[in-house]
Amino acid sequence: MKEILLNLLALTMTALTQGGGEIPPELQAEIDSLTAAINAMGEDPDEAPDQAATNELAQRITDLAEKIKDDATKTKVNNKITDAKVVAVNAAMRSFETKQKNLGSGKAKAKNLNFDALAKNNGKLKVYNANNGTFTKTVEEEFSFEQKLRNSGMLAGLKEITLAEGTNQILWTEGTRGANIAAIVAIGADKPAKTNTTAKAILATDTLAQSVTVPIQLLKGINGVQALYEDDLKGDLEDKIALQVSAMIATANNPIVTTAKTTGANISDVIEVAYWQLRQYAQGKTIHIAISSEQQKALNLLKDANLNKLSKVAYPDLAIENFIADATYTSDKIFGWVDQMSVRFYNDGLWIGSDELNGRGVSGDNFKKNQISILAEYLNEGMVIRGTDIVTTIYDSIQGTIADLTPAP
């Protein structure tokens, strides 16, 4: 090891004077000190050198090598130094193996400082690179976003209708039934004529979109990042669509209407009357009733006077959904609609993509900053509850309905 360190020192000195000239006095003083310290090392070839002392001397040579001006030469010297450190570690291991074989032979053994260092480090070897950092092997976890609740319950049962490319308005016709005046008609008498009316309605479509800028370094450095960013954008758009559904049903504002009364009315009873109100229009379709997550907990925890858990309302064609309560749609609200009938979502399809070209942003600013923009959008979309379908929706107060169901004292 002594010879290796002296050779490394000589190599470093040659590199320092590669362009000619003399070594500065301050560096010469360090070289003289290093030479003396290396020469003071033991000569026994069977005895591994002190690992800590070897590392210290190698690091001092490394620091000296940092003064080399030519980068290529500096790298070459640093690699040689790193190799020397590995040689020192291997020598320590060979020395330890020899001592293991000689145990019990009666021959006194010198203390192996290298083995002591290994034992303190749980048998792990530390090898230092040119920058004196420890070599490590990293286990990389997958990239992940913070958890976020989504309002997906309000998306259930939407009637999604595809718009042709370029369509920017929705036109539909609604009819109103005239009074039923069917009657028995005498021979020769005029038949009663029912009068129906029709009206056209038009809705201009909107663009629903969102983008995010991502550094190229992140995209290249971690697998799957772009897909996660795209999923996040898609989830945000779905949350906005869910809010559109909530707003449409709230605007329709069709309340629960019942004359039924029951003692001790609760959330289960409110869902029951809402279900039967919509059931008459469902025509064999699923009925969706949406309550907040907190109301769902209350429903699941219902007990009778003896603290026996009550069976919650359940029908084969009833789907209880949850929404995230907020200042607008509080936990007291209840929504209801009929599957594939009440709420129509017109759109020309979700598009997700980026301004990427060979891994670089196309736009000038993105290109200069090594980033790309990812976009998710519905170029044309619109939400419709036809006037004729308002009766297939419900929007009301849970506590208000409980009060309506409670008999007068």
CATH code for the domain in which residue 233 is found: 3.30.2320.10
State the pLDDT at residue 293: 94
- Measured in degrees and rounded to the nearest 5, phi and psi for residue 71 equal -60, -45
- Residue-wise pLDDT tens digits, 302-360: 988 888 888 788 999 999 999 999 999 999 999 999 999 999 999 999 999 887 755 55
Is the same domain home to 17 and 97?
yes
**Pairwise pLDDT comparison (207 vs 223), residue with the higher score:** 207
Query: Do 348 and 264 share a structural domain?
Result: yes
Last residue within a domain, chosen from 100, 120, 140: 120
Same domain, 29 and 106: yes
89/157 same-domain check: no
**Residues of 8-28 as b/e, b for ≥16 C-beta within 10 angstroms?**
bbebbbebbeeeeeeeeeeee
Instruction: Give me 171's structure tokens.
Output: 């036109």
On whether residue 144 sits in a domain, the answer given is: no
Q: Are residues 108 and 162 part of one domain?
A: no
User: Is position 143 within any domain?
Assistant: no
Give the CA-trace dihedral at 272, 274, 279, 280, to 10 degrees. 120
Average pLDDT of the chain to the nearest whole number: 82
91 and 37 assigned to the same domain:
yes
Given CA atoms 340, 342, 343, 344 in this order, what sign does their dihedral have? positive
Provide the whole-model pTM: 0.63
**pLDDT tens-digit series, residues 7-57:** 777 777 777 666 556 677 777 888 888 788 888 876 555 555 566 777 777
Q: What is the pLDDT of residue 111?
A: 47
pLDDT tens-digit profile of 356-383?
755 555 666 787 788 889 999 999 999 9
Q: Where are the alpha helices (H) located in 285-375, listed in sequence order?
A: 293-300, 364-369
The closest alpha carbon to 110, from 40, 44, 209, belongs to: 44
Task: Please indicate, yes or no, if residue 140 is contained in any of the structural domains.
Answer: no
Map residue 9 onto helix, strand or coil: helix
Which two three-digit tokens encode residue 90?
A: 């291997």
pLDDT tens digits for range 123-146 = 444 444 444 444 455 555 567 777
pLDDT of 96 above 90: no
- 99 lies in the same domain as 158: no
208 φ/ψ angles, rounded to the nearest 5 degrees: -110, 115
Residue 186: the pLDDT is: 96
Contact 290, 275 (CB under 8 A): no
Check residue 89 and give its pLDDT.
Answer: 55
Residue 296 belongs to some domain of the structure: yes
Domain membership of residue 357 (yes or no) is yes
Query: What percentage of the chain reaches a pLDDT higher than 70?
Result: 75
Cβ within 8 Å of residue 374, ≥6 positions away: 211, 212, 213, 214, 226, 229, 230, 233, 352, 353, 354
Of 37, 96, 94, the residue nearest 64 (C-alpha): 37
In a domain, 127, yes or no: no
**163 and 39, same domain (yes or no):** no
Pair (365, 248) in one structural domain = yes
Counting the structural domains of the chain, the total is 2
pLDDT given at position 63: 79
Same domain for 363 and 258:
yes
- Give the whole-number percent of the chain exceeding pLDDT 90: 50
Whether the CA torsion 290, 295, 300, 306 is positive or negative: it is: negative
| Span of 91-95, 116-120, 202-206, 316-320 with lowest mean pLDDT | 116-120
Q: What is the pLDDT of residue 122?
A: 46
Whether 104 maps to a domain, the answer reads: yes
Enclosing domain of residue 329: 152-171+205-405
The total of other beta-carbon atoms located within 10 Å of residue 194's CB is 11
Same domain for 259 and 157: yes
* 3-class DSSP assignment, residue 356: strand
Q: What is d(CA 366, CA 216) in angstroms, rounded to the nearest whole number?
A: 10
Q: Do residues 61 and 166 share a domain?
A: no
pLDDT in tens, 212-268: 999 988 888 888 888 899 999 999 999 999 999 999 999 999 999 999 999 999 999
Q: What is the Cα–Cα distance from 56 to 405, expressed in whole angstroms? A: 85
Q: Which residues pair with 318 in a beta bridge?
A: 287
pLDDT of residue 7: 73
pLDDT reading at 275 higher than 80: yes
Domain for residue 236, yes or no?
yes
